[in-house]
Amino acid sequence: MRTCVRVTSQGSAHARFNRALASRNPTLVAAAAAELGRLTLADALAVTLVYLPDDGARFERAAVRWHARWCLEVRPSPDESQLALAALRALRGTARQAAADALAELLALRGPGAAGTVLERWLDEPLR
């Protein structure tokens, strides 16, 4: 059975998703993510981080969803689970760097590594 992949002049759905992430426009990111369907944990974290500067309520919902999925896929200990959610939520506060360092360390230990890369890239971006 052949599957048909639709590629427009704008490229594949994943290419559009990556361009939307680069724009940091939450509306474009949400639309591109919906087009992709199921996201990897790394992509889901990238979407969550896009909401951080401008949409606190949306960020909170996305953070909880990402955390729940991370727990299902990684099976962390209770302490690791608490740390991950606390660090993710603390990215909004004044201890942003410490929270990111804690979350990055946890992702390096428990995975997925690609999510750690997403977090590092996000940290390198200028604050908005």
Tell me what the mean pLDDT of segment 56-80 comes to.
95
pLDDT in tens, 1-39: 544 444 455 578 889 999 999 999 999 999 999 998 889
36 burial level (CB within 10 Å; 0-12, 13-18, 19+): middle
Per the DSSP assignment, residues forming a β-bridge with 8 are 11
89 burial level (CB within 10 Å; 0-12, 13-18, 19+): middle
pTM for this structure? 0.84
